[in-house]
Amino acid sequence: MPEIKVVNMAGADAGTMKLSDKVFGAEVKPSILHSAVRMYLLNQRQGTQSTLTRTEVSGGGKKPWRQKGSGRARQGSTRSPQWTHGGVALGPKPRSYRVTMNKKARQKALFGALTSKVAGSEMIVVDQIAASEYKTKVMVKMLSDIGAAKKTLVVLPEVDCKVIASLQNIEGVKVAQYNAINVYDILNCDSLVASKAAVEKIEEVYAK
């Protein structure tokens, strides 16, 4: 069972915490992590890009010149793809990029991502993340004191408007609730900062 150090918002030692083997001590499979990241990025695409084909471009109804005798190549329309202002050949059309993974594979990917952060000493557990007022400098000081990297994912146990608003002003910092974390955000950050309560909730939800 892995064990991790717990600190307070000032960076002082606040004890240790034992982590679930199932969630934070899982096997890390790069292929599954790759599939999960690919799924996340593809599912962010709207797929609304569209180009006009020669049938959708206005004009071009008249044959530009006669078929024979002009010495020029035969043309049937000024809206063919080779013409300026013509239609686009084989251009993109609206489509869905959505891909899926089965539940067990998604869970393995999430456990693998969390495990990689613990194994790489990139996870920081804070006994409590709180703010009495909307102050960005309080959160900046906390991240500095606990040794978080510039690119940080902060995981909270619940919605705390003051904490979220204070953190969102900091460049490179992303905030998520324990039940909304994903493999891409975990792997994309240099430091995973989570409150002790958030870690307990992650284990409660995912370690069943």
Question: Can you give the pLDDT at residue 207?
Answer: 75
Q: How far is CA 145 from each of CA 7, 25, 120, 127, 190, rounded to the nearest angstrom?
A: 10, 27, 20, 14, 16
Domain of 132: which CATH number? Answer: 3.40.1370.10
Mark whether 82 and 155 lie in a shared domain: no
Mark whether 23 and 68 lie in a shared domain: no
| pLDDT > 80? residue 208 | no
Q: What is the pLDDT of residues 77-119, one digit of tens each?
A: 999 999 999 999 999 999 999 999 999 999 999 999 999 999 9
Count other C-beta atoms under 10 Å from residue 154's C-beta.
27
User: Please, are residues 65 and 107 in contact by the beta-carbon 8 Å criterion?
Assistant: no
Question: Can you give the pLDDT at residue 201?
Answer: 95
In the block, which residue shows the tokens 């010149």? Answer: 65
Angle, CA 192 vertex, CA 170 and CA 39 arms, to 5°: 95
Closest C-alpha to 148, from 193, 96, 87 = 193
pTM for the whole structure = 0.85
Count other C-beta atoms under 10 Å from residue 77's C-beta.
16
Q: How far is CA 39 from each of CA 43, 98, 106, rounded to the nearest angstrom?
A: 6, 7, 10
Mark whether 176 and 138 lie in a shared domain: yes
Domain count, the chain: 2
Which element (helix H / strand E) includes 104?
A: helix 103-119
Mark whether 125 and 156 lie in a shared domain: yes
Q: What is the pLDDT of residues 6-44, one digit of tens each?
A: 999 999 999 999 999 999 999 999 999 999 999 999 999
Give the residue numbers spanning the domain of 27.
Answer: 3-46+100-206
Phi-psi region of 17 (alpha: psi -120 to 50; beta: other; left: phi over 0): beta
Residue 123, helix vs strand vs coil: strand
Mark whether 28 and 122 lie in a shared domain: yes
Q: Find all residues with CB under 8 Å of 148, minimum gap 6, and list them.
A: 124, 191, 193
Mark whether 42 and 55 lie in a shared domain: no
Among residues 91, 117, 152, the one where a domain terminates is: 91
Mark whether 81 and 152 lie in a shared domain: no
Mark whether 34 and 56 lie in a shared domain: no
Q: Reduced to 3 DSSP states, what percent helix, strand and coil does the chain have, rounded to the nearest 5?
A: 35, 15, 50
Mark whether 182 and 125 lie in a shared domain: yes
Among residues 91, 121, 154, the one where a domain terminates is: 91
Q: What is the pLDDT of residues 148-207, one digit of tens each?
A: 999 999 999 999 999 999 999 899 999 999 999 999 999 999 999 999 999 999 999 987
Q: What is the pLDDT of residues 61-82, one digit of tens each?
A: 999 999 999 999 999 999 999 9
Question: Can you give the pLDDT at residue 1?
Answer: 76
Mark whether 68 and 25 lie in a shared domain: no
Mark whether 115 and 199 lie in a shared domain: yes
Mark whether 65 and 135 lie in a shared domain: no
